Amino acid sequence: MNDDLDPAPLDPEEVATAYVDGELDATERARVESDRRLRARADAHRSVRDVVAAPLPAMPADVRDQLVARALDAGSWSSEAGAAAGGSAVAAAAPAAAPAGGTVRLLTRRRPLLVVASIAAAAAVVVAAVVLTRPDHDGRRLTTEATSTGTAPAEATDASGGRSSPGTTAAAAPGAAPSSGLPSDQPAATAAPAAPAPADASAGSGAAPLPDVGRIADAGQLALAARRLEHDLASSATAPVATAAVVQPATCAGFGPPIATATTVDGSAGYVLVRLGTQGAAVALVRQGSCTPLLVAAVGT
Amino acid sequence: MPEEASDADLLAAARAGDRAAMDRLLRRHIDLVHAVCRRMTGNAADAADATQEALIAVVRGIDRYDGRASLRTWIYRVATNACLDELRRRARRPTPGLTDELIEQAPRAGPPDLDATIAERLRIDDALATLPDTFRAAVVLRDVAGLDYAEIAEVLELPVGTVRSRIARGRERLAIALAGNPDDRVERQRGRP
């Protein structure tokens, strides 16, 4: 073994990135500063670092309060004990929901409370994402082309196995939330948390219920409904909230939580989801309790 | 407890059963935990889930914290594990039908007029989603949480050299993704590195 051997030189990319992060000693720094190629690589790494470090929107205060309160309730600090120990107002106000058995109702998408927060976030996204009505720079409106996926009829027929529609039509009262129940194809693991009282979803939020856009015949109507939602959300002071068993939304990977309920012409009840990409938005109507698409509309290049 | 109480003071009080101290400890770190989770998961809903899991793990594990790492490092370790768990759960979620192919079948209109801030945020999320989870964790802990390489090594339980390598490789890939062909960025499925 030759102890005089120098350690293997660092990869130039590693040197450049470590330089940006201030992780090099003086000798190594000098090496970078005297090497044009390494400086260029360091600049590239710095640019990436600055992009990733870009600030994110602050977490809403009410979401922060609920996350903290739920975490405390999950530990050995009950709300009552917290109050006795001089707990904060937030802690004292935390829902006395910590089950005695130690089971915690998480503030997650699989439980109604997170849906409140998620939808509030989704509402903001939708305003930007549902680009269907924004005038372009020439003052013209973007043309929305939407299409049925072709799978809708078959899926709609199958929907009898899902949660049955109340049979209402497009005239169904706006703002109506899904009435009740879970779809038969809802996995037990995700269905279980839906049991908490619907009141959880809107408690203290002062938010409006998840809107119902009525009966949707095809993807064109789905896109149109999204346009209306954009206007409704933009003009509403409060975010829509799922007041019933909205438990599956985030299981549809890539899509946000539901922004509305809708019904297909043959009575299949679904949720309207939005997926936002850098080049456009996709709007989907999925059968309640699953990610099965009933209709999909897309906008973008 | 004074407003400027140290983490150590709050920790001691929390361990003694002071809910208010635990409350303050969580609030002191929640924003950075959430920011890490937001960048790790790529969307607000999963980030809130992971943050919730992380806070619960902190509360439940506070008595097991042995002080070998700083409290901040320990909290980041818990949070990173919660984020990685969330990503694993997400990978297992069903996505029947709603495939990229299905959506791409639909004809599209012109480019959307996205708010520039939101578009940029999505661009970053899309780029980060191209990284393997382990690379993303190293980059996010450095660039979002501001941890140094030694701290990241502690959080991820890796040698410092591996951390440096992952950050370098991660940034290389991000540079390509951020500068890449716009067509490659179209509606990339979240959580699919």
- A169-173, A285-289, B116-120, B158-162, range with the lowest pLDDT: A169-173
Residue A248, φ and ψ in degrees, nearest 5: -105, 0
What chain A residue is nearest to B91 in terms of C-alpha separation?
A253
Within 10 angstroms of residue A37's Cβ, the number of other Cβ atoms is 10
Contact A18, B163 (CB under 8 A): no
- Grade residue A76 by pLDDT with cuts at 50, 70 and 90: low
Residues in B closer than 8 angstroms to A91, CB to CB, are: 19-20, 23
* Beta partners for residue A283, in sequence order: A274, A297
Residues in A closer than 8 angstroms to B121, CB to CB, are: 54, 56
Dist CA A242 CA B130 (whole Å): 32
> Are A145 and B119 inside 8 Å of each other by CB?
no
- Grade residue A212 by pLDDT with cuts at 50, 70 and 90: confident
User: What average pLDDT does chain B have?
Assistant: 82
Q: Going by C-beta distance under 8 Å and a sequence separation of 6 or more, which residues neighbour residue B107? A: A145, A146, A147, A298
DSSP state of A96: S
- Give per-residue burial for A100-114: e unless 16+ CB within 10 Å, then b: eeeebbbbbbbbbbb
What is the dihedral angle through the alpha carbons of B27, B33, B37, B40, rounded to the nearest 10 degrees?
Answer: 160
Residue-level pLDDT at B39: 92
Handedness of CA A164, A168, A171, A174 (dihedral sign): negative
Mutate which of A15, A43, A52 to disrupt the B interface (most B C-beta within 10 Å)?
Answer: A52
Dist CA A36 CA A16 (whole Å): 11
Per DSSP, helices labelled H in B42-115 are: 44-61, 71-92, 100-105
Higher per-residue confidence, B150 vs A10: B150
What chain B residue is nearest to A253 in terms of C-alpha separation?
B95
> Are A49 and B52 inside 8 Å of each other by CB?
no
> Are B109 and A293 inside 8 Å of each other by CB?
no
> Are B106 and A104 inside 8 Å of each other by CB?
no
Tell me how close the Cα of A103 comes to any Cα of chain B, in angstroms.
12
Dist CA A118 CA A63 (whole Å): 10
- A75-89, A177-191, B11-25, B56-70, range with the lowest pLDDT: A177-191
Answer yes or no: is pLDDT of A117 > 80.
no
pTM: 0.56
Tell me how close the Cα of A135 comes to any Cα of chain B, in angstroms.
8
Tens digits of residue pLDDT in A259-285:
888 888 777 888 888 776 655 567 788
Q: Going by C-beta distance under 8 Å and a sequence separation of 6 or more, which residues neighbour residue B101? A: none
Q: Going by C-beta distance under 8 Å and a sequence separation of 6 or more, which residues neighbour residue A62? A: A117, A204, A205
Using a 10 angstrom Cβ sphere, with 0-12 exposed, 13-18 middle and 19 or more buried, the burial of residue B138 is buried
Residue-level pLDDT at B84: 92
Tens digits of residue pLDDT in A161-194:
333 333 322 323 333 333 222 222 222 222 222 2
Rounded to a whole number of angstroms, the distance between the first and last alpha carbons of chain B is: 45
- A74-83, A172-181, A200-209, B128-137, range with the lowest pLDDT: A172-181
> Are B22 and A77 inside 8 Å of each other by CB?
yes
What chain B residue is nearest to A111 in terms of C-alpha separation?
B49
DSSP state of A297: E
Tell me how close the Cα of A112 comes to any Cα of chain B, in angstroms.
12
Residue A238, φ and ψ in degrees, nearest 5: -125, 150
- A108-112, B35-39, B93-97, B154-158, range with the lowest pLDDT: A108-112
Residues in A closer than 8 angstroms to B56, CB to CB, are: 70-71, 74-75, 104, 106
> Are B98 and A284 inside 8 Å of each other by CB?
yes
Contact A269, A162 (CB under 8 A): yes
Tell me how close the Cα of B68 comes to any Cα of chain A, in angstroms.
22
Tell me how close the Cα of A164 comes to any Cα of chain B, in angstroms.
20
Percent of chain A surpassing pLDDT 90 = 16
Residue-level pLDDT at A227: 65
- Grade residue B9 by pLDDT with cuts at 50, 70 and 90: very high
Residues in B closer than 8 angstroms to A44, CB to CB, are: 171, 175
Q: Which of A206-210, A284-288, B188-192 tops mean pLDDT?
A: A284-288
> Are B17 and A81 inside 8 Å of each other by CB?
yes
What chain B residue is nearest to A94 in terms of C-alpha separation?
B23
